[in-house]
Amino acid sequence: MKYDREYSSIKSVRQTLCKDVANKKLTGVCAGIAKYYDFPRLAVRIVAIAVLIMLPVATGVAYVVASMLLPNSKYY
């Protein structure tokens, strides 16, 4: 799935990693990662759940830290 780079008509606009609040399930971290790397949101969420099952404490801490540090997207 190809995302428009934050709705910009200029394709050379540099995109930063941020939470995608328009497509969020919990806080938008997985949706923001999917948008930044042009991956399907469902695939990123499945990988996140699989890693959460294997390494629950490390993944939980990383998710909470990412949800606090990543800014919200500018466009909804």
Q: How far apart are CA 15 and CA 51, in angstroms?
A: 26
48, containing H or E segment: helix 41-54
pLDDT score of 9: 57
Mean pLDDT of the chain: 85
Tokens of 37: 């790397």
pLDDT of residue 16: 86
Is 11 a residue whose pLDDT tops 70? no
Give the Cα separation of 47 and 31 in Å (integer). Answer: 12
Tens of pLDDT, residue by residue over 15-65, are: 788 999 888 999 999 999 999 999 999 999 999 999 999 999 999 999 999
